[in-house]
Amino acid sequence: MSAFAIGVDLGGTNLRIAAVDERGTLLEKTTAGTQVERGRDFVVNEMCDAIHATAARFSSSTLAGIGIGIPGIIDMDSGMLRESPNLPGWDNYPVRDEIERRLRTKVILENDANSAALGEKWLGAARDHDDMLMLTLGTGVGGGIVLGGRVWHGMRGMAGEPGHITIEPDGPPCPCGNRGCLEQLASATAVLRMAREAIAKGVSPALACASHCNAGLSAESVYQMAVQGDPAAQEIFRRVGWALGIALAGLINLLNLPIYVIGGGVASAWDAFLRPLLEEVQKRSFVYRATTPGGASGPGKKTIITRALLGGDAGLFGAARLPLLAFAGSTDEGVRKHV
């Protein structure tokens, strides 16, 4: 009998649920709003009802389990959410046990950025590699490390937070308590802050106009201005690339992985930040220089830095992959490692 899994992406705004088979075929995908303001129990009830309805539609297949991607810090041992800025009131709540109890099915929780990394490894940009690192440039900067096809969790599930690598020791303060984190320099929030700073300095009439005359500023509108040649907008993305390049140079030196995948909304500005990113990596990482794609580094495997392919679905596919990996490990006829 074929197996399938249910992947859930529980965000602060949307609840998305997908049924995915063991080969990665999307069987069904639904999206509903997350009514966080109605409280934790309401959201859990809605989520369990939606998962139950999805599972019932594929009852002729074996349900391997449910994987749930959640923004925040998850304690993998206890299945509790330690901290989640997007889900107020969920701190120290035993999410996994509660959902398992209601649905009587194996549930695996994962940080949403780790889920996205696993999705890109399984079916996206890193599908041909066993080891990879992903950076997700969204409201914040998330990340995930996948080694041997599985998420690298560290001691308690908190590994893979490249968004909080220090880039500027005295840079902008970060909610994590540090200053000058990558997240403060390469996220959509950072792009907006830098745009507002440019407006305050009076160096970009175009950005000021966008802020007052049009629908308002967004990372996307700042990117559009960079494309149209506005020097201040171009400088913002140059700085994004610079920060990403510094972070990646350190990660490449540390990990020597075959592929580094960059996703999230800000990755749409790829053309605007890739050059400064590569310049910085080239300058700062001797491991990258020895493995640069192209002729100069000689024969052998190369370090790939590339865009994510699955967009917003990466986290859903990755979440579904979690129980399938566990299922494969528990059955002889289960999923092959590289399906």
Which stretches of the chain bind Zn ion, using CB under 5 A? 164, 174, 176, 178, 181
Report the interhelical angle of 205-213 vs 188-201 (nearest 10°): 110
Closer to Zn ion by Cβ: residue 176 or 227: 176
Token pair of 104 as six digits? 């009587």
Residue 166 Cβ, how far from Zn ion at the closest point, in Å?
Answer: 8
Closer to Zn ion by Cβ: residue 29 or 179: 179
Residue 24 Cβ, how far from Zn ion at the closest point, in Å?
Answer: 33
Closer to Zn ion by Cβ: residue 178 or 282: 178
Three-class secondary structure assignment of 289-333? HHCCCCCCCCCCCCCEEEECCCHHHHHHHHHHHHHHHHHHHHCCC
Closer to Zn ion by Cβ: residue 105 or 178: 178
Q: Give the span between the Cα atoms of 196 and 11, in whole angstroms.
A: 27
Residue 224 Cβ, how far from Zn ion at the closest point, in Å?
Answer: 28
Residue 174 Cβ, how far from Zn ion at the closest point, in Å?
Answer: 3
Closer to Zn ion by Cβ: residue 178 or 224: 178
Strands (E), the chain: 3-10, 14-21, 26-33, 62-70, 73-75, 80-83, 107-111, 132-137, 141-147, 150-151, 259-263, 304-307
Whose structure tokens read 């967004």? 218
Residue 74 Cβ, how far from Zn ion at the closest point, in Å?
Answer: 18
Residue 4 Cβ, how far from Zn ion at the closest point, in Å?
Answer: 37
Residue 109 Cβ, how far from Zn ion at the closest point, in Å?
Answer: 22
CB atoms within 10 A of CB 199: 20
3-state class of 33 per DSSP? strand
Q: Give the span between the Cα atoms of 228 and 136, in whole angstroms.
A: 25
Closer to Zn ion by Cβ: residue 142 or 157: 142
Token pair of 224 as six digits? 């559009």
Which residue from 160, 187, 182, 155 is spatially nearest to 171, judged by alpha carbons? Answer: 182
Closer to Zn ion by Cβ: residue 250 or 312: 250
Q: Give the span between the Cα atoms of 160 and 132, in whole angstroms.
A: 11
